[in-house]
Structure 1
Amino acid sequence: MKIALVIFDRFTDLDLFLPWDLLNRVRSVAGVEDWQVKIVGTKDTHVSDAGLPIQTLGTIDELQEMDAVLFTSGVLVPELIQDTEYMARLKLAPDRQWIGSMCSGALILATLGLLDGKEATTYPTRRKMLEKMNVKVVAQDFVCDGRIATAAGCLAAQQLAEWVIASAIGPKVAAQVLRTIQPVGKGL
């Protein structure tokens, strides 16, 4: 299983780190050896909104090779979706890939036509923008439509990661992974 977490300059830190951590726990929790998680972008290093430089492990040109692709969010997403060269490089296969987004990352999915006429969620500050893109925006933390999912609110990244794990190898493993991060006394 190959998973890409897509970042760009000024991405939201937690939208990367929470799913990165959860998705990487699959190997140790479930002993799945062929489980790869890569951070991809357009440069060797992207700087988060909090100013943290993050080295990428691949480029967005590898997305078609992935089994799952998750887009982070960030303040520059509205500008990013206007970049036709960037958007043209996002080659996805929604018939065989699990594709998801965090918060404003839903704008990327909508620009690619993956949310046309569907229900989706995004962060409240991007709701009107997403509605103008032929998407029915709902006030939920997680919305899934087959192989496409959107999450809103940074902590909903947990649900996005859970969805990928459950879809790829089952809900039992997803529950095992989530158990490893639950606060004491709040077990699943």
Structure 2
Amino acid sequence: MTQAQNPFNVVFVLFDNVTQLNFTGPAQFLCRMPGAKVHVAAASLDPVMTDVGFGIMPTVTFEDCPQSDLLCVPGGLGVAPALSDIQLIDFVGQQASDAQWITSVCTGAFILGQAGLLQGRRATTHWGFTSLLPMVGAVHEDARTVFDGNIVTAGGVTSGIDFALTIVAHLHGEDVARSLQLNFEYDPAPPFAGGTPATSPQHIVQAMQSRFYDDRAAEMEKALRG
């Protein structure tokens, strides 16, 4: 009689005002990875509010969470206040100490950094915040997904899906990753070119920075200095 293999524990860390797609994008793909079991961890089992106004139900608390094989920290508007959440930062650090893979999506990289995990590492984050990566000891690499040893960081929001497929290919081979890509019909064909500052009209980049990202980056910088 063969013994059942232990699951490959994928742990997502949630906090208030998380960007749901940073979490749900990679979660949708990683949950179908062979042997994977997804855990959604938060300080309590109360709904965690997203930055679009609906809640996500955690499946485990920080206290009860199993050891992750792959730890993932998404980003969102709640990252700046989360940087001073000692319980959350300690949980990330403790989980990371024995995780095979330590990962982030978007501004979740700064939570990894606050836990001391990006010192001297190549990393990426959302384009509006890349200039702040040196504040957590990281060296910015301009890529959608950056591997540095067992630390994997993904850029803004939708890049979490690319990160998930890349991890699946690394662990189980390209055919498995391609099968999941086909299963979810992930074949991006956006109506406009311009999902990065380099491919967007400069007046749109400047407008986004002045309307939103300058203030958000200043808030993040203040939190990092605090």
State the TM bucket, normalised to the shorter chain.
Answer: 0.7 to 0.9
Structure 1 gap segments, 5+ residues each: 27-31
Q: Within 5 Å, give how 1:9-48 maps onto structure 2.
A: 9-26=16-33, 32=34, 34-44=35-45, 45-48=47-50
Structure 2 gap segments, 5+ residues each: 1-7, 190-226
- Answer yes or no: is the 8 Å Cα contact 2:10–2:39 preserved in 1: yes
Partner of residue 104 from structure 2, selected from 88, 101, 104? 101
Tell me how far apart the structure 2 counterparts of residues 18 and 123 of structure 1 sit (CA, whole Å).
Answer: 15
- Answer yes or no: is the 8 Å Cα contact 1:99–1:149 preserved in 2: yes
Q: Which structure would you say has the larger Rg?
A: 2
**Residue 168 of structure 2 is aligned to residue 161 of structure 1:** no
**Residue 174 of structure 2 is aligned to residue 171 of structure 1:** yes
Q: Normalising to structure 2: TM-score of the pair?
A: 0.72
How much has 1:93 moved relative to structure 2? 3.7
Partner of residue 13 from structure 2, selected from 6, 10, 22? 6
Q: Which has the higher contact order (CA 8 A, sep 6+)?
A: 1
Aligned-pair identity (%): 27
Please give the root-mean-square deviation of Cα atoms over the aligned residues, in Å.
Answer: 2.2
CA deviations on 1:72-125 (whole Å, 9 max, x unpaired) are: 101121221122233123212456421110111000111122211111001122
Q: Normalising to structure 1: TM-score of the pair?
A: 0.85
Q: How many residues align?
A: 180
- Answer yes or no: is the 8 Å Cα contact 2:122–2:141 preserved in 1: yes
CA deviations on 1:38-72 (whole Å, 9 max, x unpaired) are: 21111211010001111001123355611111111
Q: Please, which moves more after superposition, 87-96 or 35-44?
A: 87-96
- Answer yes or no: is the 8 Å Cα contact 2:71–2:99 preserved in 1: no
CA deviations on 1:11-63 (whole Å, 9 max, x unpaired) are: 0011111112111233xxxxx3x421121111211010001111001123355
